[in-house]
């Protein structure tokens, strides 16, 4: 009997899961909340008020997940440490931090801890938006080819906007940092003592590709004169997902109650590990991780460059395949807004779902644009805002709730249409994440609006499970991730069949959605932008 442990680092907490590698069952789980959670109000070391759009974290919180979570699953399962052959981790991304050459986070050093640029920036730190705007502007001016790999636009959440923000705001921190590294790679470094970066975040978040490397230095200096060593904090060797980064350091093994011989896989990212976690390795399956927001993933043997995606990266999700990513910015967030902020009855989710499920397709008379948090793809426009059409004196709470769910489904269909219009055939949907488990109506709507089967694997701890599989590959239990997926594919799957009568009605509603989408998101987008500009100017006045 062999086992692997996966550790899934989320936004508010980390989860460790111990997986039986003979069939993929999760034997024990432990959840550890980050004491400092998301640091977005004041800097812990000084109490200094943080600017808008800051979102930092404390690396000690992450280490706590390992030190508490792994011993907890070992104890709960009663497994012998020698039988735990591999560890894999996944993390939110792009979450990045500056470290010394030994891997000490600068924010943990007395010298630097009072400086906000020394702290890890969480994926949703958005204060580098002006940098991203500038980088996009110059990339368009110069006709930079790399942009095509990212659907035509880079995000403020990525590596270079966050790094250049350090360079602009606090040059001493920039100079003191030997590394500016993804948290996922930093955790692996902490576990093994060896710094080992992987191709996936380099590709999806740092604009690197195996063929082309980084964008040219002249591009960066054209945007930011003086920023002339773009790769100096990133490193230049990147290995494939599933590679063994090393084994546990002796003192770490002791603290984690594991054996020193345990293999550690290179770092990985929460959304991507869900693909092996749900048992998908084949092209043509659209994997939706649906929770606070949506991350969509497809693997495909060839590279197709298309607009309206977050990125396409070789070996980016599964080694040997091109990984494609897209997504929707507000999902669970938007539903929580409706329930907690508008209806103000946080106990009403179940009742709303039940009442909304009784309505017929088209019966609400409503169409919404799900842009409560901007549009991630296919428009990649953070300045878009949500809209509801068709309101009348008869409109009920559950009708609006259903219209919000429908808008999420239409947004997904728009993304799938975009892939199909560029030649990637999508035959089915596999969904996972909190809303896949909690909202059968949402799943049925994904089926009814797209005309595709939706499969929801009935398995817990999907990301941690996926991460553990990479740990198993690193340990050599499986020759590759494909074999690992095959051996551990979830056996219980809930299937939602598309209702073709509903599909016919939704085709009509979707035509309206798509026209409003194109009108307010493109041809008349100035209206939405002006609305946001007025609001921002008023707020700042």
170 alpha-carbon distance from chain centroid: 28
CB 297 within 8 A of CB 272: yes
Q: Say if strands 197-198 and 96-99 run parallel, antiparallel, or are unpaired.
A: unpaired
CB 474 within 8 A of CB 242: yes
**425-450 in b/e burial notation, b at 16+ Cβ within 10 A?**
ebebbbbbbebbbbbebbbbbbbbbb
To its own copies, the closest distance from the beta carbon of 330 in angstroms equals 7
To its own copies, the closest distance from the beta carbon of 290 in angstroms equals 17
Nearer to its own copies, 299 or 400 (CB): 400
Residues 255, 264, 476, CA angle at the centre, nearest 5°? 130
To its own copies, the closest distance from the beta carbon of 102 in angstroms equals 40
491 alpha-carbon distance from chain centroid: 26
Q: Is the dihedral of CA 37, 435, 284, 20 positive or negative?
A: positive
To its own copies, the closest distance from the beta carbon of 491 in angstroms equals 38
The residues facing 181 across adjacent strands are: 97
To its own copies, the closest distance from the beta carbon of 337 in angstroms equals 5
Dihedral (Cα; 391, 394, 400, 406), 10-degree rounding: -80
To its own copies, the closest distance from the beta carbon of 398 in angstroms equals 11
Nearer to its own copies, 165 or 381 (CB): 381
| Residue in the structure block whose two tokens are 């068709």 | 390
Question: Which of 156, 163, 102, 160 lies closest to 133 in space, CA to CA?
Answer: 156
Nearer to its own copies, 386 or 471 (CB): 386
Nearer to its own copies, 276 or 386 (CB): 386
Nearer to its own copies, 221 or 505 (CB): 505
Nearer to its own copies, 85 or 403 (CB): 403
Nearer to its own copies, 396 or 495 (CB): 396
H-run or E-run covering 455: strand 454-457
To its own copies, the closest distance from the beta carbon of 540 in angstroms equals 11
Nearer to its own copies, 227 or 337 (CB): 337
By CB neighbour count within 10 A (0-12 exposed, 13-18 middle, 19+ buried), where does 113 fall?
middle
Nearer to its own copies, 177 or 528 (CB): 528
To its own copies, the closest distance from the beta carbon of 203 in angstroms equals 30
| Residue in the structure block whose two tokens are 């250049």 | 164
The residues facing 290 across adjacent strands are: 294
The residues facing 367 across adjacent strands are: 389
Nearer to its own copies, 216 or 365 (CB): 365
Q: Which residues bind its own copies (CB under 8 A)?
A: 330, 333-334, 337, 341-344, 360-367, 371-373, 385-393, 395-397, 400, 505, 508-509, 511-512, 515-516, 519-520, 524, 527-528, 530-532, 534-535, 537-539, 541
CB 377 within 8 A of CB 288: no
Q: Is the dihedral of CA 64, 243, 460, 95 positive or negative?
A: positive
7 SS3 class: strand
């Amino acid at each position: 009997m062999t086992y692997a442990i996966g550790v899934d680092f989320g936004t508010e907490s980390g989860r460790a899961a111990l997986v039986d590698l003979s069939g993929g069952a999760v034997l024990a789980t432990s959840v550890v909340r980050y004491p400092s959670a998301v640091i977005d109000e004041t800097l812990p070391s000084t109490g200094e008020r943080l600017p808008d759009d800051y979102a930092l974290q404390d690396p000690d919180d992450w280490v706590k997940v390992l030190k508490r979570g792994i011993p907890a699953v070992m104890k709960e399962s009663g497994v012998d440490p020698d039988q735990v052959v591999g560890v894999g981790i996944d993390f939110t991304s792009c979450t990045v931090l500056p470290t010394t050459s030994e891997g000490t986070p600068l924010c943990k050093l007395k010298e630097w801890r009072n400086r906000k640029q020394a702290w890890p920036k969480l994926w949703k730190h958005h204060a580098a938006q002006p940098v991203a705007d500038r980088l996009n502007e110059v990339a368009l001016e110069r006709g930079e080819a790399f942009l095509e790999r990212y659907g035509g636009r880079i995000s403020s959440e990525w590596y270079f906007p966050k790094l250049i923000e350090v360079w602009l705001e606090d040059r001493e921190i920039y100079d003191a940092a030997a590394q500016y590294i993804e948290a996922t790679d930093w955790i692996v470094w902490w576990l093994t003592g060896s710094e080992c970066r992987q191709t996936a975040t380099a590709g999806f978040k740092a604009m690197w590709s195996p063929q082309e490397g980084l964008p040219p230095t002249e591009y960066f200096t054209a945007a930011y004169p003086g920023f002339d060593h773009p790769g100096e904090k990133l490193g230049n060797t990147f290995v494939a997902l599933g590679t063994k980064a090393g084994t546990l350091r002796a003192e770490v093994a002791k603290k984690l109650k594991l054996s020193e011989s345990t293999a550690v896989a290179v770092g990985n990212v929460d959304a991507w590990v869900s693909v092996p976690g749900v048992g998908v390795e084949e092209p043509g399956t659209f994997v939706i991780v649906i929770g606070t927001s949506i991350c969509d993933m497809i693997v495909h043997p060839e590279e197709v460059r298309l607009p309206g995606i977050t990125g396409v990266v070789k070996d980016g999700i599964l080694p040997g395949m091109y990984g494609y990513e897209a997504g929707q910015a507000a999902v669970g967030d938007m539903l929580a807004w409706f329930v907690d902020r508008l209806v103000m009855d946080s106990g009403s989710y179940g009742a709303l779902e039940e009442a909304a499920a009784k309505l017929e397709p088209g019966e609400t008379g409503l169409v919404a644009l799900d842009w409560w948090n901007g549009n991630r793809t296919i428009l990649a426009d953070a300045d878009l805002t949500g809209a509801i059409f068709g309101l009348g004196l008869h409109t009920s709470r559950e009708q609006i709730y259903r219209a919000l769910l429908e808008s999420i489904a239409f947004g997904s269909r728009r993304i799938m249409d975009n892939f199909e219009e560029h030649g990637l055939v999508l035959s089915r949907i596999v969904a996972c994440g909190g809303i896949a488990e909690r909202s059968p109506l949402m799943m049925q709507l994904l089926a009814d609006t797209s005309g595709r089967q939706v499969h929801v694997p009935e398995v817990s701890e999907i990301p941690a499970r996926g991460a553990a599989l990479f740990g198993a590959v690193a340990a050599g239990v499986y020759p590759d991730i494909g074999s690992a997926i095959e051996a551990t594919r979830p056996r219980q799957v809930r299937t939602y069949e598309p209702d073709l009568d509903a599909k016919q009605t939704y085709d009509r509603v979707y035509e309206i959605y798509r026209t409003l989408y194109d009108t307010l998101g493109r041809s008349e987008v100035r209206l939405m932008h002006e609305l946001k500009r007025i609001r921002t100017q008023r707020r700042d006045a």
